[in-house]
Structures are given as C-alpha cells and as structure tokens.
Structure 1
Amino acid sequence: MSSYRQILYHIIFRTKGSEKTLNMGYSSELFNYIWGIIQKKNGFLYRINAMEEHVHMLSDLHPSIALADFVRDIKTASSIRLKETGHFPYFKGWADGYAALTYAYWDKEKIINYIKNQQEHHQKETFEEEYLRLLKEHNIEVDMKFFP
C-alpha cells in the first residue's frame, strides 16, 4: 500500500541581524537556486519571494526528509552560493532559526498570494511586526530575546 501526504510549509528565515543584505536585483538567482535544492530533495516549491532581510517560501516537504534538515540544507547551500556570486556583497549569512508554519491544502492560494505580495505588504508592516504576528496567529510562544 502507498503512503499519501499533503504537507504545506510556509517557511520564513532572515539574514544575520535582519540586515538588508539581499540584493533584490538578483533575487531570481536566489529563488532559482533554492528551487533547485528543493527539487533535489523531492519537494515542490509553490512560491518564493523575499525582501532585503528575509525570505518567504511555500513548499511541500517529502516525508523522508526532516524539516530541520530541509531548512538547514537550504540555508547552508544558498548562503554559500550568495557569497560566491558577488551579487550579494553585504550578505553575511542567514540568522539562526526559522519559522515553519503548516497550512491545509485549501489555504494554498491564500498563502501563495501572501508571499507573492511581499513588497506591497511591507509598505505597511516591518519584517519584525510581520514575523511576530504570524507566530502569534499560529499560537506559537515567542522568545523575545531574539527580537532586539
């Protein structure tokens, strides 16, 4: 008998110190690289977008891969890549940690649109405000020592 699953993760991670070091002029390069990592892990990337200090993505996760390993591998490989290209000269790396929020399949389009509209969204809300709001909406207890 086959196993079936449908697990959608809205994953958010930020740059070290939440510094605005992602050059948005080369964001498609970053997005394509992350997409390739996810494909190699038998996952599916539904949507990715970023601002200068953080990345949002909606991804399926293959059940043979632990979430922590999945995010670690994406952050490690993309960090190396960003430093190698020369297009992100101020990028120092990704901050420790991430948020991984689960959603039902019927929420997929809503989350895709949310991620797609990051630039518009962040005209009204800072990254920190957004991050804290999303964690609160998912009833996740926040350790404020990580928010200076």
Structure 2
Amino acid sequence: MAGHLDAGRACRGGRAMSALVAAMAMRHLPPAPRPRSAEWLAALKVDPRQAIEEERIICLICGGAFRQLTNTHLQGHQTSAADYKRKFGYNRRRPLMCRWLLRFYAERAVRNGLALRIRRRPIVAEPELRRRGGSRPVALEELLTRRDARRTSGRASP
C-alpha cells in the first residue's frame, strides 16, 4: 500500500525512506492553536522566544508554521538566516528549528558517536578564532594554541 507508515520504516511506492524522513513523516503538524492575525504576529515579534514551540517554529515575517526555517524559505523574504536572527534578537548559534527536531538531531549525533569524536580531538583555537566565535562553546581548559596542540600530540613545532 503506497504511503503506508509503520513504527520503524516508511514506504512510499515500494522504496524505503531514511529513518529521519520516516520519523518526520510520522509526526504531522497539528493545526496552530491560535488564530493567525496581525496582532498575534506582532505579539510574537515582541517576544520571539514564543515563536519556537515544541513541534513548530513560526516565521516572524509571514506567520507560517514550519519544523525548520530553511534558507530557501528565508530567501523568499529576501533575507538570510543571520539577518533573520539579528533582526528578531535570536542568538546567532541558535538553529531555526522546533525543539523536537533539535532533540532528534542531538540524540542521533550521540547515537552515532559524534560527541565522542569531538572529545577525542581537542579544539585548537587561536585568539582570532576566539574573537570571531567557534563552531561550538569551548571550555576554558580546552582552549589550546596550535603550538600546545602539536606538543601534546607528539609532533615537533616549527
């Protein structure tokens, strides 16, 4: 049966989908509980944290509900993710996705051992990179210069 979904897999036309697509296909977005009016959207712009809900994120430009605000959607509003975050006061490291999807990706990273691979290799950060901001928060004891990293790994420094 085409479009049949079961607990572990999703099949459409006989082709198996990935686990992520299957999990996302099984979670349908419920209708928005509040009416979408200009006043409602203005209230969300005052406190944009309310726009990020458990199963949806509300676009503060058009009022649409999504699992994730993609660059393609934001390009339709002639803006980028960085400009959107700056305009509405979001942290630049905060992904524009609902809480459920963020947890799903985090659990998948732990399940695939991504966290262990990051811990095995300490981050090498120079003052310029620290000023610019790294790709993830770094504890003070992890901040090493390139020379210190080479010394601990056994390679000779230039």
Q: TM-score range by the shorter chain?
A: under 0.3
Q: Greater relative contact order (Cα 8 A, min sep 6): structure 1 or 2?
A: 1
Say which structure is richer in strand: 1
User: Which of these two proteins has the greater Rg computed from alpha carbons?
Assistant: 2
